[in-house]
Amino acid sequence: MKKIFNLSALILMLSLAACAPSEVDDIFDENAAARLDNAISNYTDLFQANGGRWLMQYFANGDEEGYNYIMNFHGDGTVDISTKNDYVNDGAFFTDKSLWEVVGDYGPVLTFNTYNKAFHVFSSPQSDGKGHEGDYEFRIISVEGDVAHLVGKKTGITVMMTRLSSTEYPTDEDYFNEYTVVRKNAISDRINNLVLTTSGGKRFICNDASSMIWSFYPEDGSLLDNGEYMNAIMTNMGVRFMEPLAFLAEYDETYVESGIEVQNFEFQEDGSLLCTDDGVTRITGPNLADLFHQSQLGWMLSSKEGEFGGDFVTLYNGIVTEAKAKYKTTFNWLQLGYDAAKAKYRLYFKNGKYTGSIYVNHQIVDANTIKFSFDPNAEGAFDPNGQNHYNNLPSMQAMVNLLCTGEYTLTAENVMVSNPMTMTSKSNSANFVVLSF
């Protein structure tokens, strides 16, 4: 009897087990469908809420920079999309209207499901048959407050959206007008060797930042042996890399211990970029003395009132007066720049239609201090016009002597661009001149 009962019980249990999966699945599917419908409804409401205006930081792929888009979501299912980038409207500000929707596809998906001239250029095939291979549909990971995190359905690239205030930027074009100024002034395409300093004090050299395709290598390494590349997007507030700079953890254990990933940077008052993920990692420009030495830069000595002082004013005015008397010309400008071929600095000038060069030696004393020296009898000390002006204009001789007397401190308000910078005599602070390239 006991055996029969046990066998019957076993048969009953197996029957229940066979039925259980389909019954549980039916219940689960019903709940999942309801949850998805609720999510679709909630996200639809969230995107439209508070004016429905969002800034999207969009990456099409891992090989080019990111692009800013402003999305204005409307309750009638339309969206106005604005941008200003090189691939749309010849780089001029542009807005187009299309349709949007939050749909269900193994989770909530934000889709822009009719063609938008401002946006779909990155996801549509181009003449090469491929184009940028970007996305126009995005899986919604989360919307928390004023920040939304999405992932491209095809590419898997993370896209961030932040709610944009109409108070700060009344129109979309206002945002992009400011962006143009920020893009121009925040990082110079003429300055390389930016410096990223990690939370543990390790230093990396950063190049090609203005292109938003950054390269990195350790200060004691090289781009060839230790180089890393990462694309980024610049906004009015800072820079965000497409992915965290994971390679930093290979050189700095503080990131391993903390688990913090370095990805988001904001502009600071001094022009530097501070990582908002850890509040410590920072990107600045090169030391001013090193920047001054970069051969592609020629530093113009300002002759504007208030931008030079002391003996610089007296001697520059003397050069102008003496040039007029001697050559019957109007003296135009003075410039300091490194001549890589001669491995010397030159005091380069233009007087009327003539230019000339006086070559001086240059020494980097420390990160922000430089020193010059000059031997008029040295071979190659002048070109012909340089020697002529040096011999015939007493104020030109005195200007060279002033430049080569003592040390000069370099200062700048913006540590990333450092243009302009001010050169001030250590022995007499009244003697200063503003330099710009």
pLDDT, tens digit (0-9, with 9 covering 90-100), for 254-263: 999 999 999 9
311-327 and 384-392 are packed helices; what angle lies between their axes, rounded to 10 degrees? 100
The pLDDT value recorded for residue 207 is 96
The pLDDT value recorded for residue 129 is 66
Three-state SS string over 143-157 comes to: EECCEEEEEECCCCC
CA distance 43 to 302: 56
Residue 19's contacts (CB-CB under 8 Å, 6 or more residues apart) are none
- Which residue, 194, 272, 191, 270, is CA-closest to 239? 272
The pLDDT value recorded for residue 7 is 36
**In terms of residues, how long is the chain?**
437
CA distance 218 to 257: 20
Residue 402's contacts (CB-CB under 8 Å, 6 or more residues apart) are 311, 312, 315, 431
Q: Where are the domains of the chain?
A: 50-182, 187-285, 291-436
The pLDDT value recorded for residue 319 is 98
The pLDDT value recorded for residue 30 is 59
The pLDDT value recorded for residue 341 is 86
* pLDDT over 90, % of the chain: 85
CA distance 309 to 317: 11
pLDDT, tens digit (0-9, with 9 covering 90-100), for 385-398: 999 999 999 999 99
The pLDDT value recorded for residue 265 is 98
Residue 245: CA count within 13 A, CB half-sphere: 34
Whether residue 384 is preceded by a cis peptide bond, meaning omega within 30 degrees of 0, is no
pLDDT, tens digit (0-9, with 9 covering 90-100), for 195-252: 999 999 999 999 999 999 999 999 999 999 999 999 999 999 999 999 999 999 999 9
- Which residue, 157, 193, 162, 164, is CA-closest to 61? 157
Q: Using an 8 Å Cβ cutoff, are 164 and 54 in contact? A: yes
What's this model's pTM, rounded to 2 decimal places? Answer: 0.86
The pLDDT value recorded for residue 279 is 97
- Which residue, 365, 360, 354, is CA-closest to 342? 360
- Which residue, 309, 326, 296, is CA-closest to 388? 326
Region 291-436: CATH code: 2.40.128.230
CB burial readout 400-434, b (16+ within 10 A) else e: bebbebeebbbebebbbbbbbbbbbbeeeeebbbb
pLDDT, tens digit (0-9, with 9 covering 90-100), for 117-134: 999 999 998 767 678 999
In the predicted model, residues of the chain with pLDDT beneath 50 are 1-28
Q: At the topology level of CATH, where does 50-182 sit?
A: Lipocalin (2.40.128)
Per CATH, 50-182 and 291-436 having the same topology is answered yes
**Lookup: tokens for 129:** 């048959």
Q: Is 47 helix (H, G, I), strand (E, B) or coil?
A: helix
The pLDDT value recorded for residue 25 is 46
